Amino acid sequence: MTNNLKISYKNKSALKNLDYFSQNILLLSDMFEKYFKQNIVCHFQIQACEGFEFEIGNNFIATNILPSQYQNIYSSENNSIILRFFCNTSKRLSTKNINNFYTLLKKSANSPLFFVTPYENSHKEESSYVIDSKFEVRLHISHDGLDLNIFNYNEKKDFINSLFQQILSIFNNKSINNYNIYHENVNLSLPENKQKNNSFLDKEIIETIEKAKDFMNKGDCYLANLTSTIPLNEKTYFISMTHFITAWLKIKSRYGIYYHDMKVGLSCFSPERFIYSHDNKMTTEPIKGTLKSNSNIPTLSDAKAIWADKKEIYEHTLVVDLMRNDLNLVCQAGSVHVYRPFYARIAGKLIQMQSSILGTLKMDKTLGDCLEAMLPAGSISGTPKKRVCEIISQLENVKRGYYTGICGILEENGDFDSTILIRSVYKGERGVYCGVGAGITTLSNAKSEYEEFLIKLNSFLHAIESPV
Amino acid sequence: MTLLFIDHYDSFSYNLTSWFIAKNVELKIISYNEISLLKDLSQYKAIIFSPGPGHPSEYLESIELYKRIPEHIPFLGVCLGHQIFLLAEGGIVEQINPIPIHGCQVEIIDCKESKFIKNMTPKGSVVLYNSLGCKSSDPIFSNSVVSLANESGFSLIAEHKHLARIGVQFHPESFASPGGDSFLNAFLGFV
């Protein structure tokens, strides 16, 4: 690897440097889009994890100190931002047979693989797909500056060298701050009848929530995530990569993931990691509980407000036990630990309650094995999962499609990361759509659940609608 | 020493099985739909019924299995397992509250000593995930079963009067049950 570019620029934080380099990133994106058209995947991640630690006391078997055997799990992560552009991609697999998808992800790969799979009730409607690439342009942004590397998996050297020269010219251009990227003017809004606050909260939703509560009173389940997908006004239009990146630079969601071809598309602003593995140590970081701060940056009093909400704590407790159970399916007995439970993570103006559950993979367990054992993800289904999935299928009148599925990257060495597909726009068999949902428990109030729907929806949709 | 574990398709079962496996206990894990395959129960050192969804009366095969357990083999039922135990002994299992709350923690106070297992009282709070329960005023508690601890009028820990059979309504395997570990250790120590 010889193509390396380093730009030192000290700033208060990696996020500030993301702003500082944003024009370069957009120019890069614009260039890549012209070169690779639909043969490119963006996978961005903000690794900084800021927020407030919950005081565990003697109330939970958990720790706020990373257990010693897991010291290395986050070692490749720090307070930086990683932007990965997988270029000259090709589809390795596109299938409605989920077993073929798992089988492929049980094997090792020669280059990182990008994978996407819908929620389980939609396996027969939407395809699971796996994409490989000929090379990768990886940007690493920290408070110190930017580091760009090209990883060649199977591309002609000459091409990479010439591309690198063009990349250099983008970063050497001092006057870029005045450069205006072309933007499509597009209105990706919800259909009008869904826009007004209370029309969305129609009788149907209240009835569905009440039905779910009936199941819970009878002991059939304790927590059910009920969702709905909504077709977008422009059924065939899918935003361009540069448009997506412009929106992401504004939203700065933990993950920013984009792919688009003739058949499928994904523009993902998800805050939630599903499973991550490094050196056979793994973690899952479920989110349950969202609160919108009245201040620009959430404060400790916002964190205290969410911890004081018993419904949120109970619901989150259920999800942590559920994810411990699911990790125990693929991890060595006794290795599963709860780390930083009920952490009030700052995500823009929102507080997201998040816990980490750590475990050591059993011998020879691969990404494919983990997905096969652990999907659908606990935080978007409920408990007990098997029964609750039957209830979800019965109560939800629209299939979820890609919404609440997962996507991620499998590295050549077997490490992986994955993201829950929420707060995203999808393109699939039914056109372009998005989804929203909320966890329903016996304590749920239809109106406040509905408000949570809206907070989540607004957290990304507005930014896509007006990117500039 | 092998313990038999019956899984009623719960999403917490593997937290419980992993607790035992981590203690180097050999477990035979059987799903509810495989119960008919079980012939000889006498080879097991103990039998554990997992939590699970729904009403215990829906689990006919588990009720039958419970009735087949040889008298000398200790039994532990957790949540639904506790309810199957009480139902099989003649108790009534019903909704505990107009709005059952799942995930809240309780402290166990006033716990009677077990006739069989020493130091079984959970040391610390435990978590409840149940919608249903068996009232501590149920006639079975003046017959074959003793309720060792109660919560809001429902049995939290129950024990057979003459046999080493224990049911707990709480989830000892939960990360929200700091008292669960001492309870499970006491059970394992007895087995």
Between these two residues, A109 and A200, which has the higher pLDDT value? A109
Q: Is the peptide bond before B51 cis (omega within 30 degrees of 0)?
A: no
* Element holding A283 (H helix, E strand): strand A281-284
Residues forming a β-bridge with A150 = A137
Inform me whether the pLDDT recorded for A148 exceeds 50. Answer: yes
E strands present in A348-423: 350-360, 382-383, 406-410, 416-420
CA separation for the pair B135, A411 (Å, rounded): 54
Q: Has residue A104 been placed in a domain?
A: yes
* Per-residue pLDDT, A231: 85
- Per-residue confidence in pLDDT tens, chain B, 191 aa: 899 999 999 999 999 999 999 999 999 999 999 999 998 999 999 999 999 999 999 999 999 999 999 999 999 999 999 999 999 999 999 999 888 888 999 999 889 999 999 989 998 899 999 999 999 999 999 999 999 999 999 999 999 999 999 999 999 999 999 999 999 999 999 99
Residue B134 designated active-site: no
* Min Cα–Cα distance to chain A from B127, Å: 9
* Per-residue pLDDT, A185: 47
Contact A219 B99 (CB under 8 A): no
* Per-residue pLDDT, A218: 83
| CA closest to A391 among chain B residues | B53
What's at A331, amino acid-wise? C
> Which of A267-276, A444-453, B89-98 has the lowest average pLDDT?
A444-453
Give the number of other Cβ atoms within 10 Å of residue B190's Cβ. 17
Q: Has residue A184 been placed in a domain?
A: no
Q: Has residue A303 been placed in a domain?
A: yes
DSSP string, A284-311: E--EEEEEE-SSSS--HHHHHHHHH-HH
Inform me whether the pLDDT recorded for A326 exceeds 90. Answer: yes
Closest CB from A219, A333, A341 relative to B53: A219
Average pLDDT, chain B: 95
Contacts of B99 in chain A (CB under 8 A): 217, 442-443
CA separation for the pair A443, A458 (Å, rounded): 24
Per-residue pLDDT of A231-263, as tens digits, reads 886 666 788 999 899 999 988 999 999 999 999
Contact A222 B18 (CB under 8 A): no
Q: Is B163 left (phi over 0), alpha (psi -120 to 50) or beta?
A: beta
Per-residue pLDDT of A393-422, as tens digits, reads 998 888 999 999 999 999 999 999 999 999
Strand A81-95, strand A128-142: pairing = antiparallel
Q: Has residue A185 been placed in a domain?
A: no
- For chain B, domains (ranges, CATH) are 2-190 (3.40.50.880)
Inform me whether the pLDDT recorded for A455 exceeds 70. Answer: yes
Helix (H, G, I), strand (E, B) or coil at A389: helix
Strand B26-31, strand B2-7: pairing = parallel
Inform me whether the pLDDT recorded for A18 exceeds 60. Answer: yes
Contact A317 B103 (CB under 8 A): yes
Inform me whether the pLDDT recorded for A376 exceeds 80. Answer: yes
CATH number of the domain within which A345 lies: 3.60.120.10
* Per-residue pLDDT, A196: 45
Interface of A with B in 338-357 (CB under 8 A): 338, 341
Inform me whether the pLDDT recorded for A374 exceeds 60. Answer: yes
* Per-residue pLDDT, A223: 85
Contact A61 B175 (CB under 8 A): yes
Per-residue pLDDT of A276-313, as tens digits, reads 999 999 999 999 988 889 988 899 999 999 999 998 99
Contact A385 B129 (CB under 8 A): no
Contacts of A386 in chain B (CB under 8 A): 9, 11, 53
Per-residue pLDDT of A60-98, as tens digits, reads 999 999 999 998 888 766 789 999 999 999 999 999 999
* Min Cα–Cα distance to chain B from A380, Å: 14
Percentage, residues of chain A above pLDDT 90: 66
Q: Has residue A285 been placed in a domain?
A: yes
Count of CA atoms in the C-beta half-sphere (13 A) of A170: 20
pLDDT average, residue stretch A105-119? 95
Average pLDDT, chain A: 88
Contacts of B54 in chain A (CB under 8 A): 218-220, 387
Count up the domains in chain A and report the number: 1
Per-residue pLDDT of A175-206, as tens digits, reads 555 444 444 444 454 444 454 444 444 667 77
Q: In this structure, what token pair is assigned to residue A368?
A: 């494919």
Inform me whether the pLDDT recorded for A272 exceeds 80. Answer: yes
- Full domain range(s) for residue A216: 4-174+190-465
Q: Has residue A179 been placed in a domain?
A: no
Is A208 an interface residue toward B (CB < 8 Å)? no
Best probe of the B interface among A218, A321, A370, by most B CBs < 10 A, is A321
> Which of A44-58, A453-467, B68-82 has the lowest average pLDDT?
A453-467
Closest CB from A219, A314, A318 relative to B130: A219
Residues of chain B with a CB closer than 8 angstroms to some CB in chain A: 9-15, 17-19, 21-22, 51-55, 80, 95, 98-105, 124-125, 127, 129-132, 171, 173-178, 181
CA separation for the pair A64, A287 (Å, rounded): 17
Q: Has residue A182 been placed in a domain?
A: no
Cβ atoms of A275 and A283 within 8 Å: the answer is: yes
Between these two residues, A439 and B72, which has the higher pLDDT value? B72
Give the number of other Cβ atoms within 10 Å of residue A394's Cβ. 11
Helix (H, G, I), strand (E, B) or coil at A328: helix
Contacts of A338 in chain B (CB under 8 A): 175
* Min Cα–Cα distance to chain B from A459, Å: 29
Best probe of the A interface among B8, B11, B95, B130, by most A CBs < 10 A, is B11
Contact A384 B125 (CB under 8 A): no
